[in-house]
Amino acid sequence: MEIGVVGLGKMGSQIAQKLSDSSFKVFGYDQDEELSKNLDSSYEIDNNLSSLMDRFTSKKIIWLMVPSGDPTNSLVRELSKLMNNGDIIIDGGNSYYKDSIKNSDICSQNGISFLDCGTSGGVWGLKNGFCLTIGGSENTYKEVLEIFNTLSTVETKGGLFVGSSGSGHFVKMIHNGIEYGMMQSIAEGLEILNNKKEFNLKLDEITQNWRTGSVVQSWLIDLIAGELKKDSGLGKFSSEVGDSGEGRWTIKESIDLAVPIPSIYASISQRFNSKNKNSYSGKILSAMRNAFGGHTD
């Protein structure tokens, strides 16, 4: 099966490589020529969409892994003019679910199938596989199931088809909102421990202890335990914590549905507040974001 992966950043390059390492003929595309030159890849890379299209000898399947909003939406419109009836676009980025519904309609008008895929796993996906939630036509999902089988984890083989267009990204949006709240709780607890100076607590040992048998054991605890073992002061991390949009969208949805989400709302507010102070909890959050997603801001 031939597939083009558009957007070869931290996760896009891993998706392309994981597919290339399997049975797929992969064609990569990124508008950043320098990034393309520096990739150690086993697949061919283009910096021109038209030349990417020319590489296909059969049905075109394009996996998008580009920033949400206008970059993705503009790309979908451009691709819909370059692709043929029956071709397939899979948006694996963190797009707003309402944008995905619109993009599905645009593609449908041009005879192109569109799937929205929430993709979780960060920079560990190549090794561990990705957690995938897919929305769109179930028939289209089944048509390209081999792709999802290859990218998903062993435990969630094929990912999870969740429903109509937009639902895959909607589930991922809520997933990320939950993630924000979990990270904030871990960060606040560790800041309390860090401030209890008379006990001279070793946070690397404490988090390592929590990794097994504890109610709060989790991948996030695993990741921060690793970072604290390397440097308990987290000196290389800023206390300013970025947000990539999904938390804000989750808050908007909670207002529309009249569903209270005080923990998630507070975690987003704290990320905004992190820009105004130098806190240990902010460094904890930054360290976790870097560990799972390679985020530098």
**Which fold, 2-164?**
Rossmann fold (3.40.50)
Which position among 34, 138, 146, 179 bears the catalytic label? 179
Q: What is the pLDDT of residues 146-163, one digit of tens each?
A: 999 999 999 999 999 999
Catalytic residue flag (residue 155): no
**258 neighbors 87 (Cβ within 8 angstroms):** no
Q: What is the pLDDT of residues 161-190, one digit of tens each?
A: 999 999 999 999 999 999 999 999 999 999
Write the CA distances from 269 to 88, 95, 242, 243, integer angstroms: 38, 21, 11, 10
**33 neighbors 47 (Cβ within 8 angstroms):** yes
Quote the CA–CA distance of 188 and 170 in Å, as a whole number: 28
Quote the CA–CA distance of 63 and 93 in Å, as a whole number: 9
Write the CA distances from 83 to 40, 50, 112, integer angstroms: 28, 10, 8
pTM across the whole model: 0.90
Bridge partners, 2 (sequence order): 25
Instruction: Give the H/E segment covering residue 46.
Output: strand 44-46
Structure tokens at 215: 């109610």
Q: What is the pLDDT of residues 185-240, one digit of tens each?
A: 999 999 999 999 999 999 999 999 999 999 999 999 999 999 999 999 998 888 88
Catalytic residue flag (residue 172): yes
* Domain spans of the chain, in order of start: 2-164, 172-293
Length of the chain: 297
Domain 172-293 top-level CATH class: mainly alpha
Average pLDDT over residues 262-271: 90
Q: What is the pLDDT of residues 241-266, one digit of tens each?
A: 877 788 899 999 999 999 999 999 99
Say how far residue 152 (Cα) sits from the centre of its chain.
Answer: 13
Which position among 172, 227, 246, 283 bears the catalytic label? 172
Quote the CA–CA distance of 232 and 203 in Å, as a whole number: 7
